Amino acid sequence: MSSPAFPTAEEYEERVTGWWRTGITRIRPGEILLRGYPVEQLVGTITFVDQIWLMLRGELPTPAQSRLLEAALVSAVDHGPQAPSIAAARMAATCGVGLNNAVATGTNLLGDVHGGAGQQCMQVLAEVHRRAEQGEELAAAAAGLVAEYRERGEHVPGFGHRFHPRDPRRDPLLDLTAQAVDEGAVTGWALRAGQAVESALAAGRARPVPMNVDGATAIVYSELGIPPELGRGLFVLSRSVGILAHAWEETTGGARIKGPIPRPLLAGYDGPGPRDLADRT
């Protein structure tokens, strides 16, 4: 009989090997199992999107699940250097840091404000759906939630865009989701909730507030049963591809130490004018 202070050799080994116990990967000499599948069976057989699903969800996706996940990942890959995460990665690349550092600089900017709307929209969709399941009409549930956001002076995440009158990524994602609903691959609850919120936002306005890519991917990830926080992780995974591409382009361009605005322009200044330390009393 062992005690906590004096474990047996078997108990001690179990304590050590269990320190990072995982159900994802098993490594042995000459063996790599990913969720139970030998890696050599996966290589050349499944797509990278299927591999992402397998690693995160534990099983291989159906063709419909794979198609929806791939569409969402493709849609959010990049939005150009005006996106802070892209601009930061490009600036970092001109400072002589490694490519991994430049990519990390960009991805580290993806937080609640820049990059978090998808996760937040997933939570909005879940709340509208919850209210509808409790007996409230879907349209009324969406209108009530929109009214609450307006009372707080907040924007509903996943709708409207500061650049696009209508986000070109919206329709393809919603069309694919609707197709998956027709095929019985997903239930359509998130699609209905998102469309109800979009209608509530448009009510009484001369110009609608259409869903953006964050809202459309929020619908896809919600329909696929992905938790909101993991939805943000998938956005980061997608956008890191664009960040990598921009960082590499800047690295190969040969420019050095590019700041946020081109030379000879300097940042505006509204502090005190020139003063002499000797005049200080």
Give dist(CA 218, CA 121) in Å, integer: 6
- Non-local (6+) Cβ contacts of 255 within 8 A are 94
For tokens 């960082």, what's the residue? 247
Give dist(CA 8, CA 10) in Å, integer: 5
pTM as predicted: 0.93
- Non-local (6+) Cβ contacts of 70 within 8 A are 47, 49
Domains of the chain are 10-45 (no CATH), 84-253 (1.10.230.10)
pLDDT value of position 115: 94
- Non-local (6+) Cβ contacts of 164 within 8 A are 212
Give dist(CA 211, CA 217) in Å, integer: 10
Per-residue pLDDT of the chain (281 residues; tens, 9 = 90+): 566 677 898 988 899 999 999 999 999 999 999 999 999 999 999 999 999 999 999 999 999 999 999 999 999 999 999 999 999 999 999 999 999 999 999 999 999 999 999 999 999 999 999 999 999 999 999 999 999 999 999 999 999 888 888 889 999 999 999 999 999 999 999 999 999 999 999 998 888 999 999 999 999 999 999 999 999 999 999 999 999 999 999 999 988 999 899 989 999 999 999 999 998 87
Q: What is the pLDDT of residues 35-83, one digit of tens each?
A: 999 999 999 999 999 999 999 999 999 999 999 999 999 999 999 999 9
Give helix 228-253 / helix 84-93 axis angle, nearest 10°: 40
How does the average pLDDT of the chain come out, rounded? 95
